[in-house]
Every structure is written in structure tokens, then in C-alpha cells.
Chains A and B, each alone.
Chain A
């Protein structure tokens, strides 16, 4: 087996078609994860009686186990649960009608939610307590104070961590090949095994992932600059 440099280009072009799948999985899991994370973080910060403890348990469990086990548990466990419920209540719903990618969406959102909640929580805690008090003193309600005063500042603080989470999810999306969704990684496996050129195919995949990661970093840097405008200090 000889190294075939030109095949890297061929594989690269074939892999381009799988980029949207990877990006969709990343986007859905990050967006859903952000919503879950925000709720979980608020439950924990405000120490809501029972829900706060459940939220802590959720974060500990997800952060203590690999992403792959979440995916496998959802992939094998959810259909059993849904079919049992559907039979009980006569929904006439079959779990086999869920597309494979649906399992990836659900499982990765749950994973992202736990990691995001920690990012959001640390961002919120980084905002000075006095800011909240100042908001109260001018007569804002707690939701108003959070939305208008705390969240914008927290977002600015946690942006680097958020971008790391997005990149983490982008890299994590390579696991979907275990539930036979064709993303960049799975496509690389297909291209590699049909042509018997493994190294070249994975090299092309690595280059694509590297490029995507760098793009995400650049975008974050631009947003960070904009969002931190008020932080310049001074009068002008």
C-alpha cells in the first residue's frame, strides 16, 4: 500500500457533501443544550427546592459518563420506553418511525445541556452581585434584572467557554457513526473502505474538522470584540 497524495483531494471533495449533517447535529444540540443549560443553571443558582437537586444530579451524571454512553443509552433505551408508553395509552405510535438522526439530536442535546449549564452558571456567578442589587434598587423585578442587566454581562464573560462547548459538540458529533448516521466521519469510513485508502480519507476528514474549528474560533473572536465594546472603559 502506497501513500496516494492525490486521493486526499478526491476524498476531500466527497466528504464535503457530509458537512451539512455534521453542522446540523452540532447546531441542534448546541441550541437545545443552551436552553436546557439555562434552565438547569437557574434552577441551581436560585436553589429551587426539589428541582435544584434533580438538576445537580443530572449535571453530575452527564459530566461523569462519556458522551458515547449517552448516545447508546438513548438509542437503545428510548424506543423501549416510548413503545411501552404508546401501547399503554394507545397512541398508535411506533418508535421505528423516529429517524436515526433524531436519536443523535436528543442524546447530544442532553449532553450539551449539562456542559452548557456549567458554562452559563459560571458566567452568571462572574457577574458582580452589586449589579443585581442596583437593578433591584431602581425597581426592576428579578426577571427584568436578569434579562436586562445580568444576562448580557454573563454572556460576554462566558463567550470563550461557549465557543469551546460548540467546538466540543462539533467534535462529539463524530460519534453518530455508531447509530449509522452519515456525518463527515462516517463518510470518511465509507470513502476509505470502498477505495482501501484509509489514511488519506481520514486525513481529509481531519483537515475539514480543523477548518471548521478554526472558522468557529474566528467567528467567536469577532463576536467577542463586539460584545465587549462596553468594557473598554473611559468616557468615549
Chain B
């Protein structure tokens, strides 16, 4: 199985893999954009309990959370052109990257909608009532009072989602997109130094996800400035008690990967 292990290859692969980091980040960024829009569209009917749309949204979320992303990738890659062909639209010539971003976007959208829904419900009901009491309309109360608070609650979950998405992009190579994992496999099979290629791949992923985590933690601190009693500062420290409203709120926002919940 391949040539003998040689540590120098790990270093020489790093710049080669970094050249495809852009593709990986493009997939992450594109799907996040699609995901946020889809997430909002899916979360709103469920929050306001709009009759038919509510059920549709539930099925959507359940499907995307209940099936593996790999299956979804194949399903959309092969299925979308056929379904659109029924509507006399030919997209079989569209770039693969588009299918990848659409699939990841729809997948992230399902998780995103759960995050949005959970954090909006976590905002105290009294806040909305207070907003109504001073004469705000429903829209005003949502955008000015509920959303800023919900966003602060959602950030920790959101950052988990982003990092999970980054790691999920390693599957895009199955459709032939040349992102980092695909590049590592090509490098490995060209030189027969598989282990070295995968070690440097793992290193890059590690550095990128740690950087993302740090950046999102900074954002969390900024957004939570108004939460002084039990902010992230104290939350990150080792504590055994389970007190503080903020903590219980974050704990109740459970939208980790997995789960179908129909």
C-alpha cells in the first residue's frame, strides 16, 4: 500500500491543498447564504403556525435532518435535472458546484430553521407583550425586540452549524468537485503517499475550524454585551451549578446535528 512514510511530503502537500481551500470556503459561504434564507422561510410558518405551510415545513425539516447529507447530495445531483425536465427546464449542463451548493444550502436551511425557531421561542413572551403595549406592530416587535435577542441566543448554535458545514463539505468530492478532500485524494494517488496527504488535509481542516470557532466566539461576545449577569465570559468557566436564565436558554436550544422529529 503505497510508498514508505515520509514526513517531508506532509509539508510539501500543505501549499497544494491550500490552493483548493478557496473552493471549500466558497461552498461553505454559498450554502450558508442559501441556508439562512431557506431557514427563515421555513421557520416563519412554523413560528406563526400558518396552516398548510406549517406541515410542509415540518416535513421538510424532518426529511433533511433525517437523511444523511451524502444521500441528499446524490439525490439532488441525479434528481433535480429530472424533476425540472418535467417542467421543461434543462439544467443538465449546469456546473456540479451549483448542485453541491443547493444541496448543502437546503440541508443547512433545515438545521438553521430549527435554530431560528428555538431561539425565537427562547425569547421571553413578555418581551413581545411589552412591545405591543408601547404600540409597536407585530413586524416592529419582531425586528426590533425579538430578533436581536434571538440572534444572541442563536450564535453559539449557529457557530456549531458553520463548523459542521465546513466538515460536511469534505463529501463534495463524491460528485467530482475539486475541493480539499478531492485534491488530497488526487495527490495521494499520484504519488502513492496517501497517509501524508491525509495528515496535511486533517491539519488544514483543524486550523480552519479552530479559526472559525475563534471568530464566531468573538461575534458571540459582541452580541452578548447586554447579557451581563451570566454572559459567555462566565459561561466558559467551569461551573457545576445550573443557574442563570441565559444558560438554561442556550441549553434548551437543542438543534445539533441529527434528529428528524416529525
Residues in A lying within 8 Å of B, measured CB to CB: 1, 3, 60-61, 63-69, 72-73, 76-77, 79-80, 125-129, 160-161, 163-168, 170-172, 174-175, 185, 188-189, 192, 198-199, 202-203, 205-206, 209-210, 213-214, 217
CB distance from A22 to the nearest CB of B (A): 10
**Stretch of B27-35, B116-124, B200-208 at the chain-chain interface:** B200-208
Interface residues of chain B, those whose CB is within 8 Å of chain A, are 1-2, 5, 62-63, 65-72, 74-75, 78-79, 82-83, 86, 163, 167-168, 170-171, 181, 185, 188, 194-195, 198-199, 201-202, 205-206, 209-210, 238-242, 251, 254, 256-262
User: Are A171 and B206 within 8 A (Cβ)?
Assistant: no
- Contact: A69 with B79, CB < 8 Å? no
Question: Is the CB–CB distance between B242 and A213 below 8 Å?
Answer: no
| Top 5 A-B residue pairs of the complex, sorted by shortest distance between their CB atoms | A167-B258, A129-B240, A198-B78, A171-B68, A213-B66
CA distance A217 to B254 in the complex (A): 14
In the complex the two chains form, what is the Cα distance from A1 to B1 in whole Å?
A: 40
Give every chain A residue within 8 A of B210 (Cβ-Cβ). 60, 64
Chain B residue with Cβ nearest A73: B198
| Whole-angstrom CA separation of A206 from B62 in the bound complex | 12
Partner of A164, one of B5, B241, B257: B257
Q: Given A61-B206, A203-B79, do A79 and B261 touch, yes or no (CB 8 Å)?
A: no
**Residue from A65, A76, A167 within 8 A of B206 (CB atoms):** A65
B256 lies within 8 A of A161 (CB): yes
Q: Is the CB of A76 within 8 A of B258?
A: no
14 pairs of residues in contact across A and B, judged by CB atoms under 8 Å? A63-B209, A65-B167, A65-B206, A66-B168, A66-B181, A80-B5, A125-B239, A128-B240, A129-B241, A161-B256, A174-B70, A203-B75, A206-B71, A213-B66
Q: Which of A63, A125, A161, A202 is the most central at the interface, judged by chain B CB atoms within 10 Å of its CB?
A: A202
Query: Is A68 in contact with B170, judged by CB distance below 8 angstroms?
Result: yes
19 other A-B residue contacts (CB within 8 Å) besides A199-B82, A202-B79: A64-B205, A65-B202, A65-B205, A65-B209, A66-B181, A69-B205, A72-B185, A72-B198, A76-B194, A79-B1, A125-B238, A127-B240, A128-B241, A167-B257, A170-B68, A174-B68, A188-B71, A206-B72, A213-B258
**Residue contact B71 to A174, C-beta cutoff 8 Å:** yes
Report the minimum CB–CB distance from A191 to chain B (whole Å). 12
* A109 to B90 alpha-carbon distance, docked (Å): 44
A79 to B5, CA, bound (A): 12
B63 touches A185 (CB 8 A): no
Please name all residues of chain B whose beta carbon is closer than 8 Å to the beta carbon of A66 when the two chains form the complex. Answer: 167-168, 170, 181, 205
Q: Which residues of A contact B1 (CB under 8 A)?
A: 76, 79-80
Q: Which among A68, A161, A188 has the greatest number of chain B C-beta atoms within 10 A? A: A68
Main secondary structure of the interface of B (DSSP, over half): helix
In whole angstroms, how far apart are the Cα atoms of A129 and B238 in the complex?
Answer: 12
| Bound CA span A76–B170, Å | 17
Please state if A213 and B75 are interface contacts (CB–CB under 8 Å). no
Alpha-carbon distance A134/B104, docked complex (angstroms): 49
A206 to B68, CA, bound (A): 8
Which A residues are CB-close (under 8 A) to B205? 64-66, 69
Residues A202 and B240 in contact in the complex (CB < 8 Å), given A66-B170, A217-B260: no
Known: A126-B242, A214-B260. A69 touches B68 (CB 8 A): no
Rounded to whole Å, the gap between the CB of A66 and the closest CB of chain B is 4
Residues of chain B contacted by A126 (CB below 8 angstroms):
242, 251
Q: Which of B66, B168, B199 contacts A214 (CB 8 A)?
A: B66
Least distance between B91 CB and chain A CB atoms (Å)? 14
Kindly state the separation between the CA atoms of A152 and B112 in the bound complex, as whole angstroms. 32
CA distance A198 to B194 in the complex (A): 30
Are the C-beta atoms of A198 and B74 separated by less than 8 Å? yes
Known: A69-B205, A203-B79. A163 touches B259 (CB 8 A): yes
A76 touches B198 (CB 8 A): yes
Q: Is the CB of A167 within 8 A of B260?
A: yes
With most chain B CB atoms within 10 A of its CB, the pick from A64, A167, A214, A217 is: A64
Given contacts A69-B181, A80-B1, A209-B66, contact A164 B74 (CB under 8 A): no
Give the residues in chain A near B74, CB-CB below 8 Å.
Answer: 188-189, 198, 202
In the complex, chain B residues whose CB is within 8 Å of the CB of A174:
68, 70-71
**B-chain residues with CB within 8 Å of residue A69 when the two chains form the complex:** 170, 181, 198, 201-202, 205
A206 touches B67 (CB 8 A): yes
Assuming the A-B contacts A64-B210, A79-B1, A129-B241, are A72 and B194 also in contact, with contact meaning beta carbons closer than 8 angstroms in the complex? yes
